[in-house]
Structure 1
Amino acid sequence: MSKIESVILDNQRSSTLIPMVILTALFFILGFVTWLNGPLIPFFELACELTSSQAYFVTFAFYIAYFVMAIPSSWVIEKVGYKNGVSLSLVIIAIGAFMFYPAAENRTFLLFLVALFIMGTGLAILQTAANPYVVVIGPRESAAARISVLGIANKLAGFIAPLVLTALVLSNMQDYTAEKIAALDSIAKSQALDSLALQLQTPYIYMGCIILILAFLVKLSPLPEIELDEEGNVMHMSIFKQITNAFQFPQLVLGVITLMLYLSAEVLAGDSIGGFGKQLGVYGEDGNFFLKLTSFTMTAMVIGYILGIVLIPKYVSQVLALKVSGILGLILVLLIVFISPSITIQLPGIPALPLVIILVACMGLSNALCWPAIWPLALQDLGGYTKIASAILIMGIIGGAIFPLIYGSLAEAINLANEANGIAKTAKSGNQIAYLILLPTYLMIIFYAFKGHKYRSWSKK
């Protein structure tokens, strides 16, 4: 390598490093906020006196914001720029966090949902602004590896978030079991549940303040502005025209469908495992161990992201990683559904866990490299349509809103049927059987990895 080539390479690395450090911090915040939903589901089920299916509106309110706000987010970024869009997104997330205070004060589930929707709105803008950065600040063939770095920050936050929430807010959950609450009279019950809900106020106020500080720091940071309309033929178009033209790219449309189904698997693996563990009696000595199970899924995802950084693109291509992810996910779903819940595994330092719980957590491994692989494949060869395509891809996150509701309703229906028919609780529950809804997810991932991402025309494949 010549001296000039070496200098150019060093300059490229330097120009990539600072944005990557900033983006890594942002994705940590994104992950921390997102993966608090898992322990919040069983928490709200108790505190707001919900059915198990109603509690999954937590994920619906949060992720539906991505679908509703993705295109408006693109418009906002077009007006204020990518860097200002990131700062604005953090301010909106902070507002949503502050909304938890009045929601907890009144113990009103609807207000909690509004707060979650606002936070999801901020995250939609953040995702729309941040993901294109990752693709364009370095070589496209290594984009999956860069996204994997951000994924580690995201899922590391996802590992920490349930533990922090459990330690600071839910450490006394053994005093608020459903059995103890049911034994109280109406006045004492209301007071106990009010006290439980109020425990959310302080941590969310602190979180909102920290995020506001980060918004100010991003505003002052050297994060560069990027221009994706390289061909100069898109910016003059209306948003509707841009969307219409973008849908002419099969790799994008099929990528959106794949991303939507993939998100159903990622969200369910992280957010349903706590409720599933509770249903199987995974309480531990402190009575709240099931609230920590989301961290197991995040640990598996972090392992997957580390593998992505090490292997992509030097040893494994983005496409091969997606193929392996789809096949592994398919195998795990079949094992989860058909293995007996009575089989347990004893791991050091933790209560004995049903094998099916460990397999649900292992879906984190199969899911880890899907997002970083799908994004660059779906955005490839889009030119000036990359910006609007990123917003359309963000809309695919609606899978995280819809599928948990389907899962919760199906699981509840099967559990009620089992109870009505006198089926023993040790048998397979609806929580376990309902994971069958993820079969289409992994089948679509396999199709996109093997063939779908190659399409460049609807008329000629």
Structure 2
Amino acid sequence: MPKNKNLYAIGLITSLFFLWGFALNLNPILIPHLKKACQLTDLQSSYVDSASYIAYFLLPIPAAQFMKRYGYKGGILLGLILFAIGAFLFYPAAAVRSYVFFLAALFIIFSGAAFLETAANPYITVLGDPEGATQRINFSQSFNGLAASLAPFLGGRFILSGINHTAAQEAGMTPAQINTYLSKEASAVQIPYLIIGAVVLTVAILIFKTKLPEIIEKDDDLNGDEDQSLLKKLGGLIRQKQLMLGVLAEFFYVGAQAGVLSFFIRFAERVAGMGEKSAAVFLTISLVGFMCGRFIGTFLMRFINPVKLLALYCLINVGLLILAVTLHAKFSVYALMGVAFFMSIMFPTVFSLSIRGLGSKTKLGSSLVIMGIVGGAVIPPIMGKVSDMSNIQMAYLVPIVCFLYIFYFAYRNLKVKNIEMVAAH
């Protein structure tokens, strides 16, 4: 493949990192927005995360099997088409103001994203010299971080209205006025998601017209052979205590990350009396801190054992969350913003520790760790239920439990000095 063509292909595949990062980080905007537009409880609003992360849990292995038969390019195209369809479905979902319809659209979007994420990392590794594979992955991941910062900023600007009626104000409105208000709120997502769908469809057309190299995989341990079935391989891996503890640690990490960020705007509104647009700006700053934390954490790992850094960051986050739960006004929001920074290194560090020493079973073990992402579908609803039963501040006791378990996992591995870090989610 000519060099200029190669750069073009790298640009297209890198755009996939941006697309799924942007969609996933719109969830903290959608949760308070749909809570208002569809008149939901905190528990019900958390199903936005559930619909998203359950797709990541269910689709990676079917996606891998699909790509084995139809190629990675075919999988990417199917993923982009699903992504676009889900985005376009936001228009009728808003028109009828159906929360179930919104959740179905989100599930379709992230089913497509699961295909994209399954394909993107291996594709980047073959688009150029093998020596530059790590550099290309890190470059592409930086666009995922950029999307994480832009999504809440743009979502706060173009989706959130900044209008929140009190119960007393709504009591003074006629049913027709309330319906008009709620319909206007719901319709705010229509144009943004039509634009997202159009952009995704454009990328699909460009990739369809671009010749991409085929990936030839060697010794794929996801496939059964004459001597050992896939189920037997899984059975053997499940008995690996380190791996299973790591899967649980990733479950708690992704759940904590989703919960901390998804309820951020709700927290800032209730605890600090901030408007939703202002809260969205603070959320954006938090995610910029998250992105910076990855670079700073990577630098610190040159001098500090990554496992010790992971343990230290867990304890710091426990302390910050205790402050967020006990303090009031903007001080509690500032504490919560700090949590994002110290979460930054956790996914890749836990992942790398989990698959350490698996040898030829590393790929299958990695798939099990990735399935721990389902924590993002479970922890936010628990926080939502706690919030409905008490208040949003008490809900942030839940991620404290998550970080304490991750600390335990790190503590068990303190003797490990060198680990091969993988790309962050």
Structure 2 length-normalised TM: 0.84
Deviation at 1:49, TM superposition (A): 0.7
Establish whether residue 299 from structure 1 lines up as the match of residue 288 from structure 2: yes
Residue 167 of structure 1 aligns to which amino acid in structure 2? R
The match for 1:266 among 257, 268, 271 is: 257
Residue 165 of structure 1 aligns to which amino acid in structure 2? G
Cα gap change, 1:245 to 1:156, in 2 (>3 Å):
same
Superimposed CA distance per residue, residues 83-133 of structure 1 (whole angstroms, 9 cap, x where no aligned partner): 332222122111111111111011010111111111121122222223455
Q: Which runs of 5+ in 1 are unaligned?
A: 1-10, 345-353, 416-427, 456-461
Cα gap change, 1:327 to 1:206, in 2 (>3 Å):
same
Match of 1:437 in 2: 401
The match for 1:173 among 162, 167, 177 is: 162
Is the deviation greater in 83-92 or in 372-381? 372-381
Deviation at 1:405, TM superposition (A): 0.8
Residue 72 of structure 1 aligns to which amino acid in structure 2? P
Superimposed CA distance per residue, residues 342-363 of structure 1 (whole angstroms, 9 cap, x where no aligned partner): 566xxxxxxxxx2221222222
Establish whether residue 358 from structure 1 lines up as the match of residue 334 from structure 2: yes
Residue 332 of structure 1 aligns to which amino acid in structure 2? N
In 2, are the aligned partners of 1:24 and 1:153 still within 8 Å (CA)?
A: yes
Q: Secondary structure at the match of 1:49?
A: coil
In 1, are the aligned partners of 2:272 and 2:328 still within 8 Å (CA)?
A: no
Superimposed CA distance per residue, residues 235-289 of structure 1 (whole angstroms, 9 cap, x where no aligned partner): 54655345335445555433322221110122123212111111114425xx632
Match of 1:74 in 2: 64
Query: In structure 1, what is the Cα distance between the partners aligned to 2:117 and 2:261?
Result: 19
Query: In structure 2, what is the Cα distance between the partners aligned to 1:88 and 1:260?
Result: 27
Cα gap change, 1:40 to 1:141, in 2 (>3 Å):
same
Residue 402 of structure 2 aligns to which amino acid in structure 1? L
Establish whether residue 91 from structure 1 lines up as the match of residue 56 from structure 2: no
Query: In structure 1, what is the Cα distance between the partners aligned to 2:240 and 2:203?
Result: 37
Once the two structures are aligned, what percentage of the paired residues are identical?
29
Superimposed CA distance per residue, residues 352-395 of structure 1 (whole angstroms, 9 cap, x where no aligned partner): xx222122222222221222334444445556545444432331
The match for 1:414 among 365, 369, 390 is: 390
Establish whether residue 28 from structure 1 lines up as the match of residue 18 from structure 2: yes
The match for 1:327 among 301, 307, 312 is: 312
Query: In structure 2, what is the Cα distance between the partners aligned to 1:136 and 1:246?
Result: 29
Cα gap change, 1:265 to 1:122, in 2 (>3 Å):
same
Establish whether residue 450 from structure 1 lines up as the match of residue 414 from structure 2: yes
Q: Secondary structure at the match of 1:81?
A: helix
Establish whether residue 399 from structure 1 lines up as the match of residue 375 from structure 2: yes
In 1, are the aligned partners of 2:307 and 2:417 still within 8 Å (CA)?
A: no
Aligned CA-pair RMSD: 3.6
In 2, are the aligned partners of 1:100 and 1:201 still within 8 Å (CA)?
A: yes
In 1, are the aligned partners of 2:318 and 2:404 still within 8 Å (CA)?
A: no
Q: Secondary structure at the match of 2:390?
A: helix
Match of 2:423 in 1: none
Match of 1:57 in 2: 47
Query: In structure 2, what is the Cα distance between the partners aligned to 1:281 and 1:232?
Result: 51
In 1, are the aligned partners of 2:63 and 2:114 still within 8 Å (CA)?
A: yes
Alignment of 1:232-381 (within 5 A): 234=223, 236=225, 239-247=230-238, 249-284=240-275, 288-308=277-297, 310=299, 315-316=302-303, 320-338=305-323, 342=327, 354-379=330-355
Query: In structure 2, what is the Cα distance between the partners aligned to 1:444 and 1:224?
Result: 43
Query: In structure 1, what is the Cα distance between the partners aligned to 2:408 and 2:346?
Result: 11
In 2, are the aligned partners of 1:322 and 1:369 still within 8 Å (CA)?
A: no
Cα gap change, 1:224 to 1:316, in 2 (>3 Å):
farther
Deviation at 1:69, TM superposition (A): 2.1
The match for 2:214 among 205, 220, 225 is: 225
Superimposed CA distance per residue, residues 276-304 of structure 1 (whole angstroms, 9 cap, x where no aligned partner): 111114425xx632233331321111101
Residue 27 of structure 1 aligns to which amino acid in structure 2? F
In 2, are the aligned partners of 1:255 and 1:453 still within 8 Å (CA)?
A: no
Residue 55 of structure 1 aligns to which amino acid in structure 2? S
Query: In structure 2, what is the Cα distance between the partners aligned to 1:322 and 1:368?
Result: 14
Is the deviation greater in 398-407 or in 446-455? 446-455
In 1, are the aligned partners of 2:256 and 2:399 still within 8 Å (CA)?
A: no
Cα gap change, 1:444 to 1:210, in 2 (>3 Å):
farther
Deviation at 1:32, TM superposition (A): 0.4
Deviation at 1:224, TM superposition (A): 3.7
Residue 89 of structure 2 aligns to which amino acid in structure 1? M
Match of 2:110 in 1: 120
Structure 1 length-normalised TM: 0.78
Superimposed CA distance per residue, residues 144-189 of structure 1 (whole angstroms, 9 cap, x where no aligned partner): x76654443223212111221222222x322656654443122211
Match of 1:104 in 2: 94
In 1, are the aligned partners of 2:271 and 2:328 still within 8 Å (CA)?
A: no
Query: In structure 1, what is the Cα distance between the partners aligned to 2:303 and 2:70?
Result: 38
Query: In structure 1, what is the Cα distance between the partners aligned to 2:263 and 2:194?
Result: 26
Cα gap change, 1:89 to 1:105, in 2 (>3 Å):
same
Query: In structure 2, what is the Cα distance between the partners aligned to 1:19 and 1:449?
Result: 40
In 2, are the aligned partners of 1:46 and 1:178 still within 8 Å (CA)?
A: no
